[in-house]
Amino acid sequence: MQIEIRPVEDTDSAALLHILEVVFAEYPGCVLDLEEVPELLQPATAFAQLGGFLWVAQQQEQVVGCVGMVPTERPERMELKKLYTLPTVRGRGLGRRLIEQVETTARQQQARFVHLWTDTRFTTAHRVYERLGYTRLPETRQLHDRSNSVEYHYEKSLR
């Protein structure tokens, strides 16, 4: 079945929250707290205000994945955000397509690097990033959130 990638709309909010709920449920201790993701209540508006982009992957009428990108304090570096896919569509290259969407747009924005933070529990995502040329950097960060998240830092040169 064909999966289309399109810009997010504010009306996609419930679908995005559903995806996060499903994904977080796969990992012990991960909790979806709306107070920690207020940008997903009006995702198109929120990402536009950040100067960024958020895309959804849609299969027929169902939103099955998403990815975003926002500028950083360094103009040559963009940050990949919110890469999530439903388990039913994994293993078919959708994660790669979503990451490539970010990289293509980052290049159009004259960025030379894409970086991201990912929960240490998301081991499948780590393998995807590494296969696509992202390098894990030495630092980690604690979010002090309800899920007690600790994140790894990854970066890729777009050159």
Average pLDDT, the chain: 97
* Mean pLDDT of all residues in 94-112: 97
Domain boundaries, the chain: 3-157
* Mean pLDDT of all residues in 34-56: 97
Residue-level pLDDT at 90: 95
Question: Rounded to whole angstroms, how far apart are CA atoms 123 and 23?
Answer: 13
Residue-level pLDDT at 153: 98
Q: What's the one-letter identity of residue 120? A: T
pLDDT at 1 over 80: no
Question: Rounded to whole angstroms, how far apart are CA atoms 94 and 65?
Answer: 8
Give Cα separations from 135 to 24, 62, 114 (angstroms).
24, 32, 11
Structure tokens at 112: 């030379």
Model-wide pTM > 0.85: yes
Digit-coded pLDDT (tens) for 127-140: 999 999 999 999 99
Under a CB-based contact definition with an 8 Å cutoff, are residues 84 and 27 in contact? no
Residue-level pLDDT at 81: 98
Residue-level pLDDT at 159: 83
CATH class of 3-157: alpha beta
pLDDT at 104 over 80: yes
Digit-coded pLDDT (tens) for 48-102: 999 999 999 999 999 999 999 999 999 899 999 999 999 999 999 999 999 999 9
Q: How confident is the model at residue 39 (pLDDT cuts 50, 70, 90)?
A: very high
Residue-level pLDDT at 119: 97
pLDDT at 143 over 90: yes
* Mean pLDDT of all residues in 33-45: 97
